[in-house]
Structure 1
Amino acid sequence: MDLKQQFEAAKELSKSLPTKPSNEILLQLYSLYKQGSTGDVDTDPPSNPFDFVEKAKHEAWSGLKGKTQEAAMQEYIDLVNRLKQ
């Protein structure tokens, strides 16, 4: 399987993990997925200062700026594989 196929397989696997990951791990999964699938953040931060979830997601993704999509894909795959055990 090439990297993109492994990435897609990990995405599907992440939906059926044995236990729900912590919020910190969920943010890491989200940001790595977005960086791997889209690249650097391409949206503005949420305008509502009380939308803490969207703000955290945006900040997590922004924190990966400059990481290549391939590196983010591999880190996402590795993280999902660790979580499935």
Structure 2
Amino acid sequence: MSPTTFNEAVALTKKFTEKPSNEDLLKLYGLYKQATEGDNESERPGGFDFKAAAKYNAWANLKGKSQEEAKSQYIKLVEELSKTHV
């Protein structure tokens, strides 16, 4: 089942039977946030919260990418991941 819309792709990730790699999870997170909220304007987390910092960076690295382009890339990534995770 290939997702054709952003919402279908988001729903499909909830059906994954196997957890994607941390790298893929960060890509999904960054693309999702860029697609739904646009550029990351929040402050970078400090201290030793490495997970929050990684998520922040995954989103911040997409700065300037349009929300439509982020949605398109999110759909493509979910489509690829669904071949091995659903």
Same fold, judged at TM 0.5 (above) = yes
Alpha-carbon offset, residue 42 of structure 1: 2.2
RMSD over aligned CA atoms reads 1.2
Query: Could you say which residue in structure 2 is the equivalent of 1:61?
Result: 59
Query: Could you say which residue in structure 2 is the equivalent of 1:83?
Result: 81
Which runs of 4 or more aligned residues in structure 1 lie more than 6 Å from their structure 2 counterparts after TM superposition?
Answer: none
Count of paired positions: 80
Listed one character per residue, the Cα deviations across residues 22-56 of structure 1 (whole Å, up to 9, x for unaligned) are 00000000000000010000211113x10000000
Listed one character per residue, the Cα deviations across residues 50-85 of structure 1 (whole Å, up to 9, x for unaligned) are 000000000110000000000000000010011111
What runs of 5+ residues in structure 2 fail to find an aligned partner? none
Q: In structure 2, what residue type is equivalent to 1:50?
A: F
What runs of 5+ residues in structure 1 fail to find an aligned partner? none
TM-score normalised by structure 2 residue count: 0.88
Identity of aligned residues (%): 49
Q: In structure 1, what residue type is equivalent to 2:57?
A: E
